[in-house]
Structure 1
Amino acid sequence: MTKQEMAEKDYLAGMKYKDIAAKYEVSINTVKSWKKRNGWVRGAPKKKSVHPKTKKVAPKKEIPAVKELVEDTDLTDKQKTFCMYYLQRYNATWAYQKAYDSTYETAMTSGSRLLRNDKVKSYLSKLKTQQAQDLYLTANDILLRYVHQATSNVNDVLSFRTEKHLAYYKIRDANGPYEDGGGKFRYEPKINPETGEQDFYYEHIVELKDSKDIDTSNIKSIRIDKGEPVVEMEDKQKAMQILLDRLPEPEVNDDSTNSLLNAIGAGLKKIWSDRDDKEK
């Protein structure tokens, strides 16, 4: 049974507003709003009907669930409903349509105007604080996730190694020790004409790490293409930009600035020098 349902029983039993408010740790205004919204009436006579008829009632529009509405506000019920819907998608037009059952054209202008209302902004701020407490989540928690994303590396998921193999010719031979669909064959070493020694080649191997050793939180997708794993990580540049937008500007002294400029200048001079050498 919800807090409102228990409060209704106490109200119908004759308990006063202030006593109900104290019992359930809410304000008197909240108790009054519960009464008005749910139609609590003390001593309402029970109607009896010999031939009861089923009455069709239009379904009541559901308001997005929040544990407890923020108390002591002068907003109307529709304004509060707008705020609840807005926190679902952060879309003022959609929230206004849902709360006021209006056309899209009306919601386009009225939604943004309502969002600029000082009382609405204050109410939204309180609701966000309440949501954060319910979720045990802060802005720092989200920024830490971006830090984790920005510092992720494909090496966290894939392992790379190179193996050296000797090179052989595959020669068909009726007396060969090996056999395939084309018949018997043997292998002969492939000799490098320059060194006179057996030639070799390198094989580059990419393998997916064991799932128990992988942090999947930074992986966008994994697929196998032509027998090789292909991993797409979350956007590191986007995460870095988000962090840069929220972190203070770095302090740079004159010495470090000059060192950086000198390094850039030296690099450019080398590029120009190499280009001039090629043109000569």
Structure 2
Amino acid sequence: MTAALSVLEYHLVNYRRTWRSSALSTLVMPLLTMLGFGVGVGAYVSGGVAGVPYIDWIVPGLIASTALQAAVGEATWPVLSYFEWLKVYFAQAAAPLRVADILGGHLAFMLFRILLSAAAFLAIAAAFGTLHSWWAPLTLVVALLVGLATAAPTVAYAATITSDSYLIILMRFAVLPMSLFSGVFFPVESLPVVLRWLAYAFPLWHGVDLSRDAMLGLNPGCIGLVHVAYLLAWCAAGCWLAHYRFRRRLVI
């Protein structure tokens, strides 16, 4: 644990030097999204969704989607660069660090970045008056679950490839469909049956549903436990795959 914290400290020290480059986008993107989708598109959705104003209905999904985007952003090019171009992982492996320490420290930093992004979006949402439940802060916990469920398998994928061309494939055929068809912008019930079950398979849909219940003060019931268990399964499988791929590349 101490060694993994040292790896986390390494990433935090680097981030202390570069945080200004991402701070503006972390605040501006939620604001533009709220104005564009929540206010702009919401003006044309009369009656909202299931009796809920569109801006209130869409915000929980946007927070979960923000966690997804932050996770993918941290788990793709940075991981590939640490293997292929900067060789940071190999330098860390040459130190008295285990593979679990290297991976765990970097995943912890990713969760830190995901939490910052989700918290910034939640703060913007509060400024727009879309928080109607004391359970709303639980969306940050859901964001961490969605983030790890996304980041861990993405790290495993990035540790497998040798060119960033494969990351473009991931974005087009996995991240983009997941972002569009997971109930963020419209109910998945309006999709054809095949696409609906595809949405259910995505981890993001489960996070969106949990976030929406928390933001609107709804009781998720037993389905909430199913959502949590499904996201934890993605986290566990992703971490195992990432550790396996890291070990294959770092241990000679």
Smaller-chain TM-score range?
Answer: under 0.3
**Higher strand fraction (1 or 2):** 1
**Higher helix fraction (1 or 2):** 2
After TM superposition, the score normalised by the length of structure 1 is 0.21
Instruction: Point out which structure has higher relative CO (alpha carbons under 8 A, 6+ apart).
Output: 2
Greater Cα radius of gyration, structure 1 or 2:
1
